[in-house]
Chains A and B, each alone.
Chain A
Amino acid sequence: MLRYFAMRLLSGAGMLLALTLLIFILTRLTPGDPIDAYLDPNVPLSQEEVNALRTHLGLDRPLPEQYLAWLGEAARGNLGHSLQRFNETVTGLIAQRVGPTLLLMGSGIAISIILGVSTGVFTAVRRDTLPDFALSATALLGISSPAFLTALLGLYVASVRLKWAPSGGLLTPGAEFSAWDLLQHLLLPALLLSIGQAALIMRYMRASMLEVLNQDYVRTARAKGVREFQVVAKHALRNALLPVLTLIGSTIGLAIGGAIFIERVFNWPGMGLLLVSAVETRDYPVIMGATLVIGSCVIVVNILTDLSYALVDPRIKVG
Chain B
Amino acid sequence: MSWKSRISALALALAVLGGGGLTATPSSAQTRTISGAFDVGPGGLQGNFNTLSATSGFTWLMNYFEPLVIYDDKLANVIGALAKSYQVSADQMSYTFNLVDTKWHDGQAFTSKDVAFTIALARNAKSGSVFAARLGNITAVENPDDHTVVIRLKEPTPNLLDSLTKLLMLPEHALAAIPPEQIAKNAWWSTAPVGTGPFRFVKYVTDQYVELAANQDFRDGRPAVDRLINRYFADAAAAISALRSGEIQFTYVEANDVPTFRDNRDYRIIEGGSFVVNYLGFNQEAGLWADLRVRQAVMYAIDREAIIKSLYRGAAKAANCVYADGRLVPADINPYSHDPAKARKLLAEAGWEKINGSKPITVLTYYNAPLTNNVLAAVQSMLAQVGINIVPRAVDTPTYNATVLKVPGNAQDYPLIFAGLQNGPDPSSINPGLNEKQIPPAGVNIARIKMPAVTQALDSALSQTDQAKSAAAYQEVCRATNANLPWATLWVANRYGVASNKLKDFVWMPAPGGGPYQAHPEKWSISQ
Contacts and interface: CB of A to CB of B under 8 A. Distances in A.
The answer to whether A and B touch in the complex, with CB atoms under 8 Å apart, is: yes
B403 interface: yes
A42 B276 contact: yes
B185 A37 contact: no
Interface in B203-236: 205-209, 211, 227, 229, 231-234
Nearest to B185: A87
Given A52-B125, A174-B28, A180-B17, A37 B398 contact: yes
B425 interface: no
B513 interface: yes
Contacts of B20: 178-180
A47 B419 contact: no
B402 A33 contact: yes
Interface in A104-120: none
B207 A45 contact: no
B206 A269 contact: yes
Given A36-B401, A160-B241, A160-B244, A41 B366 contact: yes
- Helix, strand, loop or mixed for chain B's interface? mixed
Given A44-B443, A180-B20, A264-B234, A269 B130 contact: no
Interface residues of B, number: 85
Nearest to B403: A31
B422 interface: yes
B330 interface: no
A170 B24 contact: no
B517 to A, nearest CB: 15
Given A156-B241, A163-B246, A46 B432 contact: yes
Interface in B128-164: 128-134
A36 B366 CA distance: 12
A42 B511 CA distance: 12
A176 B26 CA distance: 11
Interface stretch (B4-12, B42-50, B283-291): B42-50
Interface residues of A, number: 64
- Helix, strand, loop or mixed for chain A's interface? loop
A43 B399 CA distance: 17
Contacts of A41: 366, 397, 400-401, 419-421
A37 B133 contact: no
Contacts of A53: 53, 128, 130, 184
A86 B190 contact: yes
A203 interface: no
B47 A32 contact: no
Contacts of A200: none
Contact of B241 (A37, A159, A174, A181): A159
A263 to B, nearest CB: 9
A60 interface: no
B429 interface: yes
Nearest to A266: B238
A49 B443 CA distance: 9
Interface stretch (B308-316, B433-441, B500-508): B433-441
Contacts of B408: none
A167 to B, nearest CB: 4
B426 to A, nearest CB: 11
B189 interface: yes
A203 B328 CA distance: 68
Interface string A50-87: 11110010000000000000000000000001001111
B483 to A, nearest CB: 23
Given A43-B56, A44-B422, A160-B245, A49 B238 contact: no
Contacts of B431: 44
Interface stretch (A191-199, A276-284, A290-298): A276-284
A176 B31 CA distance: 12
A258 interface: no
B247 interface: yes
Contacts of A160: 241, 244-245
Contacts of B246: 163
A48 B187 contact: no
A143 interface: no
8 contacts: A36-B398, A36-B402, A53-B130, A85-B185, A86-B185, A93-B206, A174-B227, A267-B232
Given A37-B396, A47-B440, A48-B132, 14 more contacts: A30-B398, A32-B398, A36-B398, A40-B56, A51-B441, A56-B181, A81-B185, A85-B206, A87-B185, A160-B244, A166-B245, A176-B24, A180-B22, A269-B207
Q: Which 9 A-B pairs have the closest CB atoms?
A: A32-B398, A180-B21, A178-B21, A36-B401, A32-B402, A37-B398, A44-B432, A87-B187, A86-B190
